[in-house]
Amino acid sequence: MPPNTSPPHASKQPPDADLGPALISAAEFTELCDEHLPFARLVGMQVDHFGTDRVDLRGVFNNDFLRPGGTVAGPVMMALADAAMFGAILARLGPVALAVTTNLSIDFLRKPAPADVVASAQVLKLGKRLAVGDIMITSDADGELVARASATYSLPQF
């Protein structure tokens, strides 16, 4: 690729731009997770929405998610946030298993009730080597925002 030429996945479009159809289906993403991200099964991951605009993953509640105080444990929400961001990137790139997390930061905003949690991920910048995005996590019990995360992924070179 000549210098100063962006690869096909580089994007300078705002996150709400019409980006066309996802380059991988929700079923293909779930299959890829089963093969490469076995932790996704541990957090009861289900796809609620899968598109280039955003990816929503549900962590289906399980009593094993509870920590002292009767709240969903932080590591469950963090794993769900990471998987949702992975999905948001793959929706734009296609099935690229080697897109890997280089940074994941999370702010826990309030104590979620013992219920499903939903992570909604959106790619903010898809560059040549890195992707950056935000993830909002809500409780299905009341729809309230319970955590906010930001993630950076390293992208394989094509």
pLDDT in tens, 114-129: 999 999 999 999 998 9
Residues contacting 76, CB < 8 A, separation 6+: 43, 59, 65, 117
In a domain, 7, yes or no: no
User: At 78, which amino acid appears?
Assistant: M
- Secondary structure (3-state) at 52: coil
> How far apart, in whole angstroms, are the C-alpha atoms of residue 111 and residue 71?
6
In a domain, 1, yes or no: no
What's the pLDDT at 38?
A: 80
Identify the domain containing residue 95 by its residue range: 26-154
**How many domains, in total, are found in the chain?**
1
What's the pLDDT at 75?
A: 93
Cα angle 96-100-7, degrees, rounded to a multiple of 5: 55
Taking a C-beta distance cutoff of 8 angstroms, is the pair 146, 110 a contact? yes
In a domain, 142, yes or no: yes
Helix spans in 9-141 (H) = 26-36, 39-42, 74-93
The low-confidence residues of the chain, meaning pLDDT below 70, are 1-18, 158
Torsion angles phi and psi, residue 70, rounded to 5: 75, 35
The domain that holds 133 is classified in CATH as 3.10.129.10
In a domain, 121, yes or no: yes
pLDDT in tens, 128-157: 899 999 999 999 999 999 999 999 999 988
In a domain, 2, yes or no: no
In a domain, 20, yes or no: no
Task: State how beta strands 66-67 and 71-72 pair.
Answer: antiparallel
Residues contacting 29, CB < 8 A, separation 6+: 47, 50, 87, 90, 91
What's the pLDDT at 130?
A: 95
Pull the structure tokens for residue 30: 């779930």
Q: Which residues pair with 45 in a beta bridge?
A: 59
Distances in whole angstroms, Cα of residue 22 to Cα of each of 34, 108, 113: 19, 30, 32
In a domain, 3, yes or no: no
In a domain, 137, yes or no: yes
